[in-house]
Structure 1
Amino acid sequence: MQTRREMLGKSAAVAAMLGSLGLLPTAAHAAYAQAAFDAKTMAELMKALGAGAPTESKDVTIQGPDIAENGAVVPVGCSTALPGVKRMLLLVEKNPSLMVAMFDVTDAIDASFNTRVKMGQSSNVFAVAMMADGKVLFAQKEVKVTLGGCGG
């Protein structure tokens, strides 16, 4: 029976061999559009993503509280039942970074997402649906924050 020390020694030898052959993965990084996350306005964001001007639509819905007691964890969600959605975005107008989430959508999944965002102050929150035909549709909701999450 092998001891734990012997097993770790053999594992290290195997890892070194795989590393020398270039078979170990390098650091993984999430792919995202840096310019999109750096955008400060809706127009800058749409330009960075190569999209046109957004139009308000009743087919896109946004869920969230009217009043968030703690801005550090505000539950929000976005959804649409429209066919041909390629990307969903969640935006917080008065945050340092306008875009707080971007979800790529395929035909295999429903365009319905929930997450928690950080909000430093009361602001409009937008759910944006980018369609395959180039249309950009959005819905908005005002969320009032009583205790700031971004240092407030």
Structure 2
Amino acid sequence: MGYWLFKSEPSTWSWQDQQAKGDAGEEWDGVRNYQARNFMRQMQIGDRGFFYHSQKEKSVVGIVEVCAEAHPDSTTDDDRWDCVDIRAVRSFVKPVSLAQIKSDPRLSDMALVKSSRLSVQPVTENEWRVVCALGDTDPD
């Protein structure tokens, strides 16, 4: 299983919006960065991801699951851009802030710390478990 992080500005697409889509999930569309697109092309159904609120909150607030592998992004006619579909799995018991992540030495190599602007990024299994523990949230 792969682990990922999906960033969203809550004023554009919030965790509550994601949850409202239910089991059908929603396209993670609008990504126009080649590295982020390439990460989505690597994803498989069942991979898990952190749902991260950017802007002011800057925290992991939920867990999502990839429910459709990479396909053309419906928001553009440009065939260079693909996206996956994700569905909400569970909310974090306690959101985990970027400050907490940056202050934990076990997470010093996390992409969120090193490449904070990238909207879709990989997460190692160890990072996954540490962040879930910080949020009192079941990693499985």
TM-score (norm 2): 0.28
Report 1 or 2 for greater relative contact order, CA contacts < 8 Å, sequence distance ≥ 6.
Answer: 2
User: Considering only CA atoms, is the larger Rg found in Structure 1 or Structure 2?
Assistant: 1
